[in-house]
Structures are given as structure tokens and as C-alpha cells.
């Protein structure tokens, strides 16, 4: 194993939370002997190492301490306990442009940031052309950054951070900035760093990028290190946390790895238990998903979609689905009047609103018998997903025909998000799984 370039040793960060501002003042002045705050640990005794040339991802739910740990490593924050040892020059993409002076021009800010990182004027001079070409903001580089659009601002900030040629690159949710063409440049530069053997510490909610780029992943939960391992193992655990199945995720993280046949039986049992839990009367399936609060919903009320779920190939209700795996879309429909032949449908769209794929019970030649008032039906669509890694929107519907006219009984447009997790993408919307032979 190569040398460690980052060592995080028993690291903790505690914040004092006060109920009243006067309590903070009394403690600062030393006029109160009573403890007037509660302790909140953003990080609680964290330990890990990053080796030279590794790309290590850090994932976790909101509030798990991901950004806090990066800020301590880069020196932006001081730890409450423990220490961090860094062997190498760091360039950090945390809060883009945080060190910019809004009154300075773009050129002046390039030199200001380079100096803060520790470069001489001569070293910045040598990198200036690369930075300007990467940012591609033209003559605006000679104007005060306060006149920039938000897009130009992040382009320049990213260009400065990424072109400094660090030994260690630290990235916090900063790869998806600017338009799609600039994002492509950012990812290409990131890949160049990885191919050059640079050490990268990477925090992201984009599970596709984590799966594609990372050699190892650390999973944080509520300020504690839950587990570390391969990207696939940690993404699976992370999905359990996302559906509020924390006890199961913690138990699985602390279990010794078992690769014999009984382990498969155990996994199957977990999936069955999860499905049973999802079907419990006291809990709806959709509680385990991030539902769009601005869902467009309409229909004549003859039927209602009262619940829905997205279920991955492990039986987990989650909006994160691995590319090329089998997954299920399920919805529960209640009828308020007699309907002769209802049609059940789903559609998947991209974020621009383009319909990518979908089907319905009529297309699939599934005849549905007449439904009476009070009837409840559960409809299940199971399929393999070959969409490229990325974010999509799910729509659901119950329609039909009455007296020869098409009727919409209930539709939910863009009701929730589906994230396809992939470490291999091709061109376009879906993967044709081409086989390449070169002779």
C-alpha cells in the first residue's frame, strides 16, 4: 500500500447550541457558572486514511458531516478534538469563489487566490493562460467580478481551483457548475487528475459519479463513520439510510462480511422484510421517497392513486436505481365509481421534460376487469433500466375510455425523482450495450 497523504485521527467537531442569545453572551463574559448550551457533534471521533493516488468518496445524508470534515482537512475549520495530517499541496473546491474579492477584476482574483494557496507570481503567470482558456469568459476577466453573472462567476472560480496542479484535490459538490458544455470540461479535467495519479477526496450526492470515479467510499451518518468499502457496497448502505432504514443499515455495516450461501438467504430475508414493512397499514410506500411538493395532479376523481413506490433489485424502496438492474414501479389505486376497463400507466422524463420511456397496461396487453366503487388495486411494472446515469422524473396515471371518449381519472406528473446510478455511460438517453471488436 502506498503512503498515506491524509490521515484523519480521532477527529471530532462540536458546536455549542444556545436557546437564547443572552446565554451565549453570559458565557462569553464568564458571568454564568451554569452550562447554558447543548453540545452538537457534527463529527464524532472519525478515523480514516487516504493513500497517495487514491480517489476516495465521502457520502452520507444531509447533516452527516461531509462538508465539515473537508473544511477541517483544508484548514477552514479547527477541530474540537483529534488531528488531521496532510502530506502534500491541496487545492480545494469547496464553496466556489469563497476567497474572491467582489471589487477586484477576474485577473486580480486569479492572482489573489493563487497567492493564498501558496504559489508565487511566476507560477501563477505560467498557469494564467490555462485558467483563462478553461474559464472561457472572454474580456469579462478584466471587469470586477461583481458585474459577472452567476454562471461566469462559478466558471472562473472552478478554473482557478482546478488548474493550480495540486498534489491533493478536494472536491465538495462542485463538478456540476455552469452549462452542460462546461460541465463536460470539468469532468474531463477531473479524469485527467485521476489518470495522472493525483490523490482526490470527493464529496457528492451524485452516486453515479461516486461509483464511476472512486476507488473507495466512506459512509458518514450523523457525524459518525458508519462504514467504508467499495463504491457498490457503500451506495447500497447509503440507499438504506435514504429510506430511513437506519437500524438495518447500521446492523449491516457492523456485520462481518459473509460470502457463503447462507448470506444470500439472509439478503433475501431482508428484502422480504422490507417489502412487508412497506405494505404495513401504518406506513405508505411513498414515505420512503422524496416526493415532489409541486406535483401536477388532475383528473375527474373516478379513481385516485393513493400510494406508489420505486423498488430496486434488492427489494428496497428507493429513488436510486443501478443501471442495467431490474426494478419495479408500483402504485395503489382506489376507485370511487364503477369503471369498465381502467388503464394504468407510467412515464419517465428527463429534467427538460422530454418523455424518455414509459408504458401502460393497454400497451402491455393486460386486460383489467371492471372496477367497482371502493375497489383498491395494486399495479406493478417490473423492467430492466438501461437509461444513462442521471436524474429523471416519474409520472403516473390511471385513465380509460367511457362512451368511446378518453378520460383521465387521475394523473400525477413529475411525482418523484429517479436517479440512475452508473459507472459507465454512452451517448444519448439509453445504452445499446454495443460489443466492440477491433481486428
Domains of the chain: total: 2
The residue assigned the cell 463504491 is 231
**Bigger pLDDT: 3 vs 338:** 338
Which is nearest to 342 in space by CA: 309, 374, 377, 308?
377
List, for residues 283-311, the tens digit of each pLDDT value: 899 998 989 888 999 999 999 999 999 99
Question: What is the Rg, in whole angstroms, of the alpha carbon atoms belonging to the chain?
Answer: 26
List, for residues 89-123, the tens digit of each pLDDT value: 787 776 655 668 889 999 999 998 888 777 888 98
Helix (H) or strand (E) holding 157: helix 150-162
Same structural domain, 317 and 222: no
In a domain, 260, yes or no: no
In a domain, 297, yes or no: yes
In terms of phi and psi (left: phi > 0; alpha: psi -120 to 50; beta: otherwise), the region of 432 is: alpha
To the nearest 10 degrees (0 to 180), the angle between helices 231-242 and 246-254 is: 150
In a domain, 212, yes or no: yes
The model carries a pTM of: 0.67
Same structural domain, 238 and 368: no
Same structural domain, 76 and 173: yes
Task: Report whether 190 contacts 158 (CB < 8 A).
Answer: no
In a domain, 392, yes or no: yes
Of 187, 208, 242, the domain-final residue:
242
Same structural domain, 311 and 188: no
Same structural domain, 53 and 177: yes
Of 208, 224, 242, the domain-final residue:
242
Task: Report whether 124 contacts 148 (CB < 8 A).
Answer: no
- Residues β-bridged to residue 387: 430
pLDDT-based confidence at residue 78 (cuts at 50, 70, 90): very high
In a domain, 275, yes or no: no
pLDDT-based confidence at residue 247 (cuts at 50, 70, 90): low
Same structural domain, 56 and 150: yes
Q: Which three cell numbers stand for residue 49?
A: 486514511
Which is nearest to 210 in space by CA: 190, 189, 182, 231?
231
Same structural domain, 74 and 134: yes
Same structural domain, 304 and 388: yes
Which is nearest to 353 in space by CA: 410, 428, 396, 413?
413
Full domain range(s) for residue 309: 285-421
Same structural domain, 312 and 238: no
- Mean per-residue pLDDT of the chain: 84
Same structural domain, 40 and 133: yes
Same structural domain, 94 and 154: yes
Q: Which three cell numbers stand for residue 251?
A: 446492523
In a domain, 80, yes or no: yes
DSSP character at residue 168: E
Cα torsion 230, 235, 241, 243: sign: negative
**Bigger pLDDT: 128 vs 250:** 128
CATH number of the domain enclosing 347: 2.70.50.60
Same structural domain, 98 and 40: yes
Instruction: Kindly state the average pLDDT of the residues 323-335.
Output: 96
Amino acid at each position: 500500500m502506498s503512503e498515506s497523504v491524509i490521515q484523519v485521527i480521532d477527529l471530532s467537531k462540536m458546536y455549542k447550541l444556545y436557546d437564547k442569545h443572552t446565554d451565549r453572551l453570559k458565557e462569553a463574559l464568564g458571568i454564568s457558572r451554569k452550562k447554558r448550551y447543548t453540545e452538537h457533534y457534527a463529527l464524532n471521533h472519525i478515523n480514516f486514511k487516504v493513500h497517495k493516488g487514491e480517489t476516495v468518496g465521502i457520502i452520507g445524508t444531509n447533516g452527516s458531516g461531509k462538508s465539515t470534515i473537508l473544511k477541517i482537512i483544508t484548514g477552514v475549520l479547527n477541530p474540537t478534538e483529534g488531528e488531521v495530517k496532510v502530506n502534500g499541496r491541496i487545492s480545494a473546491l469547496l464553496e466556489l469563489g469563497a476567497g474572491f474579492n467582489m471589487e477586484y477584476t477576474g485577473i486580480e482574483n486569479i492572482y489573489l487566490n493563487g497567492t493564498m494557496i501558496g504559489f508565487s507570481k511566476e507560477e501563477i503567470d505560467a498557469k494564467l493562460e490555462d485558467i483563462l482558456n478553461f474559464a472561457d469568459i472572454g474580456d469579462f476577466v478584466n471587469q470586477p467580478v461583481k458585474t459577472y453573472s452567476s454562471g461566469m462567476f462559478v466558471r472562473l472560480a472552478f478554473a482557478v481551483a482546478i488548474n493550480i496542479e495540486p498534489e491533493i484535490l478536494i472536491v465538495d459538490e462542485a463538478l456540476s457548475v455552469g452549462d452542460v458544455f462546461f460541465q463536460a470540461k470539468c469532468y474531463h479535467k477531473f479524469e485527467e487528475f485521476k489518470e495522472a495519479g493525483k490523490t482526490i477526496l470527493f464529496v457528492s450526492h451524485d452516486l453515479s459519479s461516486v461509483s464511476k470515479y472512486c476507488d473507495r467510499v466512506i459512509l458518514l451518518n450523523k457525524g459518525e463513520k458508519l462504514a467504508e468499502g467499495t463504491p457498490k457496497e457503500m451506495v447500497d448502505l447509503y440507499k438504506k439510510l435514504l429510506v430511513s432504514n437506519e437500524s438495518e443499515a447500521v446492523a449491516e455495516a457492523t456485520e462481518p462480511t459473509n460470502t457463503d450461501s447462507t448470506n444470500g438467504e439472509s439478503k433475501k430475508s431482508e428484502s422480504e422484510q422490507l417489502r412487508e414493512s412497506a405494505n404495513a397499514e401504518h406506513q405508505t410506500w411513498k414515505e420512503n421517497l422524496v416526493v415532489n411538493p409541486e406535483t401536477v395532479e388532475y383528473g375527474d376523481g373516478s379513481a385516485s392513486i393513493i400510494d406508489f413506490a420505486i423498488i430496486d433489485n434488492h427489494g428496497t424502496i428507493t429513488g436510486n436505481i443501478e443501471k442495467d438492474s431490474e426494478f419495479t414501479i408500483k402504485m395503489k389505486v382506489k376507485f370511487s365509481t364503477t369503471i369498465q376497463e381502467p388503464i394504468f400507466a407510467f412515464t419517465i422524463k428527463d429534467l427538460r421534460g422530454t418523455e424518455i420511456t414509459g408504458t401502460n397496461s393497454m400497451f402491455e396487453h393486460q386486460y383489467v376487469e371492471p372496477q367497482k366503487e371502493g375497489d383498491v388495486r395494486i399495479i406493478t411494472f417490473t423492467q430492466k433500466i438501461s437509461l444513462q446515469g442521471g436524474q429523471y422524473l416519474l409520472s403516473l396515471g390511471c385513465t380509460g375510455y367511457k362512451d368511446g371518449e378518453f378520460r383521465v381519472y387521475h394523473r400525477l406528473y413529475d411525482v418523484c425523482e429517479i436517479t440512475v446510478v452508473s459507472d459507465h455511460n454512452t451517448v444519448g438517453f439509453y445504452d445499446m450495450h454495443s460489443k466492440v471488436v477491433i481486428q
